[in-house]
């Protein structure tokens, strides 16, 4: 695989324990140059812990992690010079201006004097803060803060970027803009490892790692995950009291899995065109007369719900 030749991040059987709690449990994956890898998973799954290990902020308990070819446990300082990091909590200085923050990180990362003016201008433009360079960061709205934090993280042109839920709490249009920036960086060759809990954002990633309870339970492109993980076809069922039909559905032939999605149920079946009328009739007999059944294309969320459920029952799955 081409990714292996140019792997910027290599994670091999990584384990992190906090006392008896296993936060990261034998995770392995690689990220290629210019690739955007998304970490998806519920809160507390171990996404942040993994990213912190890769940034050299936490020492791995077992296993190995190479970032830019450097072992993070052996030489975290060398790793830190080559990476940019956006932590989950906003961590620029609120009591300093846009430019003062950028200058500070420029100085800390040792951006050369010849470069600094150009890099500052680039970061300010990228964040869309031209004309507000002297505004205190505390006065900026969420989207601008996030873009400024990204700007600060790439001042020194790192080859690898770690973004821990960078868009949480940011409005959708700002999120869209943020992802455009990430894609631009990736096109320039920056490897990006980004965690998120927004499913729609997962579609923007080149590859996705689904993490649950410290384990990597699926890894692949969004397309691969959608097509192969389910192992069946998907029906959406809508109607009054549809939640009560769950047990009826699970007992029906050809139904492999049922999950609640908002006000609808998604049922995983072996063959959609065969089961659709069957289920309609079965539910009609059981008193759910107004139920509408239609075939849908699986979303990433369907895959994840299925995979998380499968990993809980111990069967595991991998695309």
Partner 1 sequence: MRWRRVKAIMVKEYLQIVRDPRSLMIALLIPVLQMFLLGYGISLDVQKIPLCAYDQEGSQASQDLLRRFSASRYFELQGHAGNYAEVGRSLDTGRCNIVVVIPSGFSKSLTDAGRGVVQVLLDATDTNTASLAAGYAQAVVAGYSADVQLEAIQRRGGSVQTLTPVEVRARVWFNEDLVSRNFIIPGVVALVMAIVGAQLSSLTIAREWERGTMELLVSTPVQPLELMLGKLAPYFVIGMLDACICLTLAMFWFDVPFRGTLAALMFTTSLFLTVVLCIGYYVSVSIRSQVGASQVALVLTMLPTTLLSGFSFPIDQMPAAVRAVTYLVSGRYYVTILKALFLKGAPWSELLLPILCLALYAALMVLFAARAFRKTLD
Site residues for partner 1 per CB under 8 A: 52, 55-59, 76-77, 80-81, 83, 85-87, 89-96, 100, 103-110
Residue 99: how many other CB atoms lie within 10 Å: 17
To the nearest whole angstrom, how small is the minimum distance from the Cβ of residue 98 to partner 1? 13
Shortest Cβ distance from residue 11 to partner 1 (Å)? 18
Least Å distance between CB 85 and partner 1?
4
Question: H/E element holding 196?
Answer: strand 191-196
- Strands of 191-196's sheet in order across: 83-86, 160-164, 191-196, 36-40, 207-212, 215-220
| Sequence-ordered alpha helix ranges (H) in the chain | 2-5, 47-54, 76-82, 98-108, 113-126, 142-153, 172-187, 199-202, 222-228, 246-251, 272-285, 300-312
Looking at beta carbons only, is 154 or 210 nearer to partner 1?
A: 154
Q: Which DSSP string corresponds to 21-81? A: EEEEEEEEEEE-TT-EEEEE--TTSSHHHHHHHHTTSS--SEEEEEETTEETTT-HHHHHH
Judged by beta carbon, residue 8 or residue 299, the one nearer partner 1 is 8
Report the residue number, 19 or 262, with the smaller CB distance to partner 1: 19
Query: Under a CB-based contact definition with an 8 Å cutoff, are residues 290 and 255 in contact?
Result: no
Of 73 and 259, which CB lies nearer to partner 1 in the complex structure? 73
**Smallest gap, in angstroms, from Cβ of residue 281 to partner 1?**
57
Judge contact between 4 and 159, C-beta under 8 A: no
Nearer to partner 1, 96 or 256 (CB): 96
Minimum distance, C-beta of residue 104 to partner 1, in the bound complex (Å): 5
- Three-state SS at 152: helix
CB-wise, 140 or 218, nearer to partner 1? 140
Q: How far is the CB of 289 from partner 1 (least distance, A)?
A: 55
């Amino acid at each position: 695989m081409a990714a292996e030749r140019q792997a910027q991040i290599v994670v091999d059987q990584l384990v992190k324990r906090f006392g008896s709690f296993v936060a990261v449990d034998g995770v392995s994956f690689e990220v290629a140059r210019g690739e955007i890898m998304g970490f998806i998973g519920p809160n507390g799954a171990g996404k942040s812990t993994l990213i912190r290990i890769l940034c050299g902020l936490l020492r791995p308990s077992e296993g190995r992690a190479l970032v830019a070819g450097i072992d993070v446990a052996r030489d975290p300082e060398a790793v830190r010079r080559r990476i940019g990091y956006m932590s989950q909590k906003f961590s620029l200085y609120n009591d300093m201006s846009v430019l003062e923050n950028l200058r500070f990180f420029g100085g800390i990362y040792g951006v050369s004097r010849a470069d600094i003016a150009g890099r500052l201008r680039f970061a300010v433009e990228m964040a869309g803060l031209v004309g507000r360079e002297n505004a205190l960061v505390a006065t900026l709205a969420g989207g601008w803060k996030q873009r400024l934090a990204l700007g600060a993280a790439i001042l020194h042109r790192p080859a690898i970027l770690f973004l821990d839920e960078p868009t949480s709490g940011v409005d959708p249009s700002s999120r869209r803009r943020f992802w455009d920036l990430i894609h631009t960086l990736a096109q320039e060759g920056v490897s990006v490892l980004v965690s998120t809990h927004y499913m729609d954002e997962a579609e923007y990633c080149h590859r996705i790692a689904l993490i649950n309870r410290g384990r990597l339970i699926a890894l692949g492109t969004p397309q691969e995950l959608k097509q192969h993980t389910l192992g069946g076809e998907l029906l959406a069922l809508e109607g009054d009291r549809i939640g009560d039909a769950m047990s009826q559905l699970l007992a029906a032939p050809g139904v492999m899995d049922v999950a609640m999605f908002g006000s609808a149920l998604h049922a995983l079946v072996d063959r959609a065109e065969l089961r659709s009328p069957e289920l309609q009739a079965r539910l009609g007999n059981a008193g759910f007369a107004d139920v509408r059944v239609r075939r849908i294309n699986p979303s990433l969320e369907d895959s994840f719900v299925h995979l998380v459920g499968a990993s809980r029952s111990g069967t595991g799955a991998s695309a």
